[in-house]
Amino acid sequence: MKISNIYRIKRYNYRIVVGIGKFDGFHIGHQKLVSKIIEISHKLNAVPAVFTFKNYPFDTRLSLWKDKTEAFKKYGIRLCLWANFSEIHQMSAQNFMDMIKTICNLRGIVVGENFRFGFHRKGDISFLKTWTKTNHIKLSIVKTVIINNKIVSSSEIKKLIKNSCFQEAALLLGRYFTIEGRFIKGRGIGKTIEFPTINIDIKNKNTPVQPAVYACFVKHKNRMFKAAVFYGKSPTFNTPLSFEIHILDETNIDIDKNDIFTIIPIKKIRGIKNFSSPQALTNQIKKDIAKTEKILDSIDFSSLFYKV
């Protein structure tokens, strides 16, 4: 797949069908849109393409740039055009579409039915219908996907994850929500209270996950483990914001520097609390682990290998 900044690409002479969107999380609505891009591009003998943003100023985000581009490639996109949000946010809808048409042999456009774009979001479906008719370009509108009376959208998925509704979020994403990070050396506090932890530095600093203790599955070197995961600042030990993994079913894990861990949160166990003493915290962690084991034992985690 070719990836090009829209301001740096030379004239792309191949016929293209382009889908436009932010594609945060690449949920099942995005997957449906990309499937339509592929379908239309085959009919028009064109290259399937997308236009998206890099460095969009989300308060929280579901996926990073690498996640999006890998998803595009996996689903058959052959050209990814992008711009930094700061480069383009004041451009009118008319100027944006004229720019795309200038640099590409544009044959088709695919967008969702609630799509809006351009400065102050003045570009809408009505504008696109007029613009595409004038320029003899095919326009395809993809209907919104609704599951369990919820519109499938990045904002809805973020809301679900923020409220720890991970199973519902998975239905809208089409896969389990994951948090990925690399191993870093911690302060060793876990060992002093009988529960050693693996500290990780997560890649997505703007995750919608809220500070709490969670029952999770954790993937490391193609192995899946059950774990209780703490995310937050420890008021008991005055530690900074961090992700700490306590593996339940394995005490000796071969961990190398910068190893990658993938966390799959299943259910929130409790919020962050301040404990009067390390012993009080130890007693609470024992209860957390018992709850975590009960929750995770009810799930066939072997299936997670194919959905992460």
pTM of the model as a whole = 0.91
- Residue bearing tokens 């969107």: 21
Q: Which amino acid is residue 192, in one-letter code?
A: T
CA 122 to chain CA centroid, nearest Å: 27
Domains of the chain with CATH codes: 2-150 (3.40.50.620), 178-306 (2.40.30.30)
Q: How many CB atoms lie within 10 A of CB 104?
A: 23
**3 state DSSP class of 203:** coil
* 108: CB partners within 8 A, 6+ apart: 16, 17, 18, 40, 41, 44, 46, 137, 138, 139, 140
Q: What is the pLDDT along the chain (308 residues), one digit of tens a residue?
A: 999 999 888 888 899 999 999 999 999 999 999 999 999 999 999 999 999 999 888 899 999 999 999 999 999 999 999 999 988 989 999 999 999 999 999 999 999 999 998 888 888 999 999 999 999 999 999 999 999 999 999 999 999 999 999 999 999 999 999 999 999 876 545 455 467 889 999 999 999 999 999 999 999 998 899 999 999 876 655 556 788 999 997 667 888 888 999 999 999 999 988 776 777 778 888 899 999 999 999 887 666 554 55
Q: Tell me the two tokens of residue 129.
A: 């219908």
Strands 79-84 and 104-112: unpaired
* 75: CB partners within 8 A, 6+ apart: 31, 34, 35, 38
The answer to whether the beta carbons of residues 111 and 21 sit under 8 Å apart is yes
Beta pairing partners, 80: 3, 50
